[in-house]
Chain A
Amino acid sequence: MSAIGPEELAALRSNNISIIFQDMRLFPELTAWENLDIKRRLSNTVSPEQVEEWMTRLGIQDKKNSLGRTLSYGEQQRVAIIRALLQPFDWLLMDEPFSHLDHSNTDKARKLIEEIVAQHGAGMILADLDENEYFKYTKTIVL
């Protein structure tokens, strides 16, 4: 990464690699909607209506106008997941993406991620400490 310049790195981050951070990293002074919109406007590949639909699917539609700092960890994590899907990507990097979600919300989020990753034909890299296998992995490494 150090070999590429800051502008190339920015292009890589906005077009090729998307990340779900373990610590969510929302802007506390922006609302849930603004946190998503500020990312969506970078590439403008997802419509606002689509974002609203995803929020509804993950059960955070009613938190649209709540400030980031007032959201629970679980709500913050769902906003962070949707945010990572608002750009074109080849790889989705996930660091403990469901650590604050219950089984029901984890399942909803997993389905959404799988759907969008398939749409993009992208790969996923997941870092997780528990033994749950959220996604269907091919257990073969092709060299």
Chain B
Amino acid sequence: MSAKTQIEMLRKLLIGNKSRSRLWGALFALFMGTTMLLLTVMIWWNFNELLYGKSQYDTLGSTFLVIGKRITQENVSASHTFSQQDIDSLKQVPEVQDLGILTSNHFPAYARLGGKLAFNTDIFMEAAPDRFLDNMPSEWKWEPGSNDLPIILSSQFLDLYNYLFAPGQGLPQLSESSIKAIAVNIEVGTGPGMLRYTAHVVGFSDRISSVLAPASFIEYNNKIFGKPGDVEASRLILKAKDPSNTKFASYIESHGYTTNSQNMRWSKIRSIVEVVTTATGFLSIVLMGIGALVFILFIELTIAKAQHSLTLLLELGYSPKYLGKFMMSRFMPLVLITIVISMCIAIASQLVASVMVKQLLLTLPVFPGWPVWLALIISSSILFTLVGRAIMKAVKNDVLS
């Protein structure tokens, strides 16, 4: 006879074999609650990563808005540039996550192209901080003295040319790659100081409707050809959390700024997603609570059914602590296995989610983030405490009775 025999006898007396189906039912409820909680925290965290994650500047949670000052009949003669005060005030708006100045050219610029597509025209150019560009070509750099000038063109301009201008003028339609192959001569300034560059379109932007040149190029030529003091920002680009926010919308309206209002509408869907995720979170906490309650009730029922044996064991001299520890040694591993299986499911789900969002050109970490692990630690600590307390309380109640 070994110590195993004693444990086997206690198991026979206190737990029995008759409640197997109830035990599985209780464990299943606990498993469902834990899994739902972990998955909900994971979904919430993943949405947060996609909407506001630091790993990617261009997240789904942000909208980029280019704003300018509205020009009306009344203010047509006034300045339409943004003062430092305007910029500082905008930075204080809660919805504004980042702000960049779009610097326009304050020098005359002229573009020439020979051949079949020959044209000569005055042009404008603008520079945006690099972090606001929706794509960053490797050629995107310019240093004083360099003759090659990279240009990023608005995709809208290409569409306007291909679908409106070219058919009317009998000109060939152009693909992005064929535009990139064309070299355009750019002349900057006038008179003997005029500078010549060879420009190439290196990319297209869906975000900023403009002809973009590197900031170093615009600043360099503005210094040479511009007048001191006239390089105030005419347009700003904002990275906004939720432009559909009414306070933000009224701020834009009350200050007489203009922007693409379409952008301000679609982001409402993100607010809805947040509400749904939060509601699911509460629901899963309730589910986890019910799962834990079912399991604890099962333990209490098991102890209540074994009350006769428990009382007699205490009368024979078994200590409540020893019997409590014995009960815990039977139930705690089951709780632990349930939690481990739930966590494995959460890890597998995260892996699947990260693969799936990759197809949508988004990135998610392969492993669940810290909030999921934190939820695991907190929920399992609470669960272990509650189960432990329920067992000890039931055993002690028996002593007192």
Residues of chain A having any CB pair with chain B under 8 Å:
6-7, 9-11, 13-15, 19, 21, 25, 27, 29-30, 34, 37-39, 41-43, 48, 83, 87
Contact of A42 with B317 in the complex, beta carbons under 8 Å? yes
> Which 5 pairs from chain A and chain B are nearest by CB?
A14-B317, A10-B319, A13-B317, A6-B399, A6-B320
Out of A11, A25, A43, name the residue touching B312 (CB < 8 Å).
A25
**25 A–B contacts, CB within 8 A, in A order:** A6-B320, A7-B319, A10-B317, A10-B318, A11-B317, A13-B314, A13-B315, A13-B317, A14-B317, A25-B315, A27-B13, A27-B309, A27-B312, A29-B12, A29-B13, A29-B309, A30-B12, A34-B9, A37-B1, A37-B6, A38-B6, A39-B316, A39-B317, A42-B316, A87-B317
Instruction: Judge whether B321 is part of the interface by a CB distance below 8 angstroms.
Output: yes
The answer for the CA separation of A42 and B3 in the assembled complex, in Å, is 11
B320, closest chain A residue (CB): A6
Report chain B residues within 8 Å CB of A38: 6, 9-10, 13, 313, 316
> Which of the residues A11, A27, A39, A48 comes within 8 Å of B1, measured between beta carbons?
A48
CA distance A48 to B10 in the complex (A): 19
A43 to B317, CA, bound (A): 9
- Chain B residues proximal to chain A, CB less than 8 Å: 1, 3, 5-6, 9-10, 12-13, 309, 312-322, 396, 399
Contacts of A37 in B (CB 8 A): 1, 5-6, 9
Which residue of chain A is the closest to B316 with respect to CB atoms?
A39
Given A6-B396, A48-B1: A30 and B13 interface contact (C-beta under 8 Å) = yes
- Residues of chain B with a CB closer than 8 A to A39's CB: 316-317
Cβ contacts under 8 Å, A15 to chain B: 317
A11 partner residues in chain B, CB cutoff 8 A = 317, 319
Q: Which one of B3, B314, B318 has the greatest number of beta carbons of chain A within 10 Å?
A: B318
Shortest C-beta distance, A70 to chain B (Å), equals 16
CB distance from A31 to the nearest CB of B (A): 10
A25 to B315, CA, bound (A): 10
A41 touches B319 (CB 8 A): no
**Interface contact B316-A7, CB-CB below 8 Å:** no
Partner of B318, one of A19, A21, A25, A42: A42
B396 closest partner in A (C-beta): A6
- Measured in the bound complex, the distance between the Cα atoms of B10 and A29 in whole Å is 11
| In the complex, residue of chain A having the shortest beta-carbon distance to the beta carbon of B398 | A6
In the bound assembly, the distance between CA atoms of A104 and B110 in angstroms comes to 129
Given contacts A29-B13, A30-B13, A48-B1, contact A10 B6 (CB under 8 A): no
How far is it, in angstroms, between the C-alpha of A25 and the C-alpha of B311 when the chains are bound? 10
A48 to B318, CA, bound (A): 19
CA of A13 to CA of B12, assembled, Å: 23
Give bound CA distance, A61 to B56, whole Å. Answer: 80
User: Which chain A residues border B9 with CB–CB below 8 Å?
Assistant: 30, 34, 37-38
Determine the chain B residues whose CB is within 8 A of the CB of A19 once the complex forms: 315
Assembled-state Cα–Cα distance A10/B317 (Å): 5
Output the residue of A10, A15, A43 with the most chain B CB within 10 A: A10
